[in-house]
Structure 1
Amino acid sequence: MNNDLTQRPEKLEDQRTKNARMTRKLAVLGILTAMSALLMYLEVSLPLMPAFLKFDLSELPVMIGAFAYGPVSAIAIELVKNLIHLPNSSTAGVGQLANFAAGVLFAGSAGLVYRFIKTRKGAVLSLIIGTLVMTFGTSFLNYFVFLYLYGLWAGIPMETIVGMATEMNPKVADRETLILWAFVPFNLFKGAVISALTYIVYKPISMFIHKSPSVCQTKSDETEVDAAEISESDRQ
């Protein structure tokens, strides 16, 4: 019986610690999602890239979430970020869908690898794998899905889409070269920049994210435990 009494405060402390950690996790994920959504507004065009390909740093908070909490949390950030931008979409959601797919491929695969190899080398490996998975995965999806959806939304044939890219890069002559000379270099550049920034900033940020929450025992908790002990003693 005395064992139960001594274990009860410890169990209560463990539960408070778990609750504090969960609250902290939700708060961090909320901050990362807000940062990602804001960064998505700061998009820029890149040289030799068609107008419909815009670069931004919104994947950086997603990648931080992937490293800190795993691929599922990263996908959640990616989803909410694109849902926030969906009402103001200029492409009837096609751009948001493509961005979501790219983010899932990038942060999802990188977060999965890093989850099992949490070292500096593991971080580098996961970022390289994430960049390659995103590049090849989005090439496939753009070739077979997103370019057609974009054409349907804009009401233009594939030749016109290719022509938009040809104006910026003469090497683009058809759908295949559009993928090769526009989407592949764009995603490699995007992956390289986000990966470099993630590698630089994650370590100092992770010290804050994974800081153990200090859970102080309040007077009311102490009173509850004392009352429980007195009650148990009376029953004995």
Structure 2
Amino acid sequence: MEIKKQKINTKVLVKVGILSAISFLLMIAEFPLWFAPGFLKMDLSEIPALLGAFALGPVAGILIEFMKNVLFIAIRGSNSMMVGEIANFMVGSIFVYISGIVYVKNKSRKNAIIGMILGTIAMTVFMSIANYYVMIPFYAKLYGMNLDSIVSMGTALNSNITDFKSLIAYSIVPFNLFKGAVVTLITVLLYKRVSPILHK
């Protein structure tokens, strides 16, 4: 019985490791969006974490988020004194944990979608608050910039952005909602295909 349990745990760790590596590769393959300032980059690294959360449980999803960021810092380094990576871990964990916990209560396609919608809303709220009070002010201080110069980056893309609050409303909020929607759609399309492999 103990040997069987150990084999199961080993299989789960191997799957988490593989998904973490894929998540890391997706994290470094970031790209800009047409409506977002240059400091906001889109990546799809939450997809493997969501797949892990659905197949292996919400805690596995958080572990994948953690390992992804550890790999990123170890291999690519951090240009934000790790604040960006910590924020990425926190927001990713919120997204995958809420999605996973809703799904495991009743494993259905509908519940998976509901979970990811709730996860998207939660991460959008979190990132809006975090960027307003911590992230963007920290970046501005780190690079010797004032907030007005950062706001102007948003204004160049959207004339509705006139101050720091509108930068959050018209840039951070739609960015996270868009990311959540894209990640949700791709995960829904992928999960049934990869689920048999993850459950082996």
How would you bin the TM-score normalised by the shorter chain? over 0.9
In structure 2, the partner of 1:55 is 42
Which residue identity is paired with 1:80? M
How large is the RMSD of aligned CA atoms in angstroms? Answer: 1.4
* Distance (Å, rounded) in 2 between the aligned partners of 1:16 and 1:209: 21
CA distance in 2, matches of 1:46, 1:188: 13
**1:91 shift after superposition:** 2.4
One-letter code of the match for 2:171?
A
Is 1:181 the counterpart of 2:173? The answer is no
Q: Which has the larger radius of gyration?
A: 1
1:30 is aligned to: 17
In structure 2, what is the equivalent of residue 110 of structure 1?
99
CA contact (8 A) 2:100 2:112 kept: no
**Corresponding letter in the other structure for 1:31:** I
Question: 1:86-139 CA deviation, whole Å, 9 max, x = no partner?
Answer: 252222223212212220121121112112121111111111111111111111
Q: Identity across aligned pairs (percent)?
A: 42
Q: Which runs of 5+ in 1 are unaligned?
A: 1-13, 212-236
Show the 5 A alignment for 1:63-212.
63-87=50-74, 88-211=77-200
Contact 1:106 1:134 in 2 (8 A): yes
Question: How many Å separate the matches in 1 of 2:150 and 2:196?
Answer: 46
Number of residue-to-residue matches in the alignment: 198
Q: TM-score, normalised by structure 1?
A: 0.80
Give the superposition deviation at 1:204. Answer: 2.1
Partner SS state of residue 156, structure 2 = helix
Find the aligned partners of 1:104 and 1:209 in 2 and give their Cα distance.
20
Match of 1:220 in 2: none
Tell me how far apart the structure 2 counterparts of residues 170 and 79 of structure 1 sit (CA, whole Å). Answer: 37
The answer to whether the 8 A contact 2:30-2:41 is kept is: yes
The amino acid of 1:72's aligned partner reads V
Q: Deviations over 1:6-44 (max 9, x none)?
A: xxxxxxxx3333222211111100000000001111111
The residue identity in structure 2 corresponding to 1:15 is E
User: Could you list the runs of 5+ residues in structure 2 that have no partner in the other structure?
Assistant: none
